[in-house]
Amino acid sequence: MAIPDYQTLMLPVLKLAAEGEWRVPKAAEKIANQLGLTSDEREQILPSGRQRVLHNRIHWAKFYMSKAGLIESPQRGLFRATKAGKTVLAKSPSHIDNDTLKAYPAFLEFQEASAAGQPKTEKPATAAAAASLATPEEQIDAAQAVLHSALSSDLLQRILGNSPLFFEHLIVDLLVGMGYGGTHENAALKLGKSGDNGVDGVIDEDRLGLDRIYVQAKRYAETNSVQRPEVQGFVGSLVGFNATKGVFVTTSTFSAGARLYAEQIPQRIILIDGARLTDLMIEHDVGVRMNRHVAIKRLDEDFFSEDI
């Protein structure tokens, strides 16, 4: 039989996840046995040549279900069913697909975030309807947005799975990649060396060190939002250093009160939450690398012109 699409694989993946913790390769082997896939089907590779088709589709099945809260990752590389996922299975569903997941607000929020910024004249009822209304370029953009969202989610998981020291090094790499600090060596000497008065480090704003930026970093779980008092404490520290510029980085989010406070004070405080952190990492190639380049070519009208 042909390898099922990722939506068809959602139910088998969730059933496995309800049995315990799994890694994609082991889950793929188990599901391949259940489906009676041939050796050639098990080894079938994506056109990019970088991943097995079955592994890729299982990854997307679990990823989308995780956005609905049916799957969770207890640690790097592992996945299992949540209480909500087991509740779904208790109802003995005949299938699970994206339409099933739309019953969960978190999944709808994820879809809306992925589609943000995409041109549209109306709100299609399904992803298939959206694709049928979009031009090929718009479909590519929409797919890119989903891939970007998935990569952002994976980046945050990996950051939280590493040590606080790794997080400090990551910030050094990012700030240097953005043009601050001059070199990794100079930036590393200042970032992470303070550790008092609410400041985790200092980095030069330019290569000559004419101005400095003070940094605070909080490696928090997604549910642990940074509140106003923590930002106030950071600003108080800046006053103590006679500084006017600061960057507060967290892997989680900032409360509305924290953001409002940062906007109203005379000091220039930039708040970087988990979503913006991963966006910046992707933009400046920190922790990511090019996997596949797709060239979109257009007709060259000048080439066909016979005007002299």
**Cα three-residue angle 183-186-187, rounded to 5 degrees:** 80
Question: Whole-model pTM?
Answer: 0.72
Dmax over Cα atoms in the chain, in whole Å?
Answer: 75
The residues near 226 (Cβ < 8 Å, ≥ 6 apart) are 218, 220, 248, 250, 252, 253, 254, 255, 258, 271
For 114-133, what is the mean pLDDT?
Answer: 51
Per-residue pLDDT for 121 more than 50? no
Bridge partners of 216?
Answer: 248
- 300 confidence band (pLDDT: 50, 70, 90): confident
Domain architecture of the chain: domains with CATH: 10-115 (1.10.10), 164-283 (3.40.1350.10)
For 177, list phi and psi in degrees, rounded to 5: -60, -30
The answer to whether 237 and 269 have CB atoms below 8 angstroms apart is no
* Per-residue confidence (pLDDT) for residue 249, from 0 to 100: 93
Regarding beta strands 191-196 and 199-204, do their DSSP bridges make them parallel or antiparallel, or are they unpaired? antiparallel
- Lowest pLDDT segment from 59-63, 87-91, 299-303: 299-303
The residues near 266 (Cβ < 8 Å, ≥ 6 apart) are 244
Q: What is the pLDDT of residues 56-84, one digit of tens each?
A: 899 999 999 999 999 999 888 899 999 99
Is the model more confident about 223 or about 277? 277
Residue 26's nearest CA partner among 16, 40, 35 is 16
The answer to whether 235 and 264 have CB atoms below 8 angstroms apart is no
In the chain, % of residues over pLDDT 90: 49
